[in-house]
Amino acid sequence: MRNDIIEYLKTEIKIRTENKNNKFGRGVLYHIEAVANNAELLANKYNADKEVCIIAAWLHDIASITDYDLYKDHHIHGAKIADEILRKFKYEEDKIELVKNCILNHRGSIENTRLSKEEQIIADADAISHFDSIPSLLYLAYKEKGMSIEDGANFVKNKLERSFRKLSDDSKIFYEDKFENVMGIFTPVSQLQKCF
């Protein structure tokens, strides 16, 4: 395991999220950490290259947090930044290619073909990461968007359902309990009010 690269990335990503050019707030660091944790879990499950998955997870949104202008095509810019960083560490050529493909194909919103297990893992880890950051989603709904209790609950619930639908079929089964547990929180507000 190239712990030198992983440790460098953890520090570098933290520094970039704290920089004023990061328009996504500190919460994005929780997102990236959650993607890295889920990528490791899924790499074990699918017998994939764990090192590549962890490195790709730490790098997958690097372009967005570095410069908001890169957000729209952050998968393309991110792959370029990853190439530069990993080359400095003299990482193996075939693994650099795999990491770059993971970054290029991580976005569920963009039509793409995922050829390797590692690419699918990063896309799945990115989608499921929302289930590890419910407080951030609630903060977004109630504090930043100023939503009512009901609208905020529906906003978060819909976002989570969309994320879950993006998962590969095997990962949907793997994360079924997590999905049920989290969705259980969103008892319709109309039902809650009957309790009082």
Q: Identify the three-state secondary structure at position 4.
A: helix
Nearest distance from C-beta of residue 106 to Fe ion, angstroms: 6
Return the number of the residue (153 or 167) whose C-beta is nearest Fe ion: 167
> What six digits make up the tokens of 124?
């799945």
Place of tokens 């899924």: 42
Nearest distance from C-beta of residue 57 to Fe ion, angstroms: 9
Secondary structure of the chain: what % helix, strand, coil (to 5)? 75, 0, 25
Write the binding mask 150 to 189 for Fe ion: x where contact by CB under 5 A, - elsewhere. Answer: ----------------------------------------
Return the number of the residue (30 or 142) whose C-beta is nearest Fe ion: 30
Write the binding mask 51 to 80 for Fe ion: x where contact by CB under 5 A, - elsewhere. Answer: ----------x-------------------
- Residues numbered 97 to 126 that lie near Fe ion (CB under 5 A) are 126
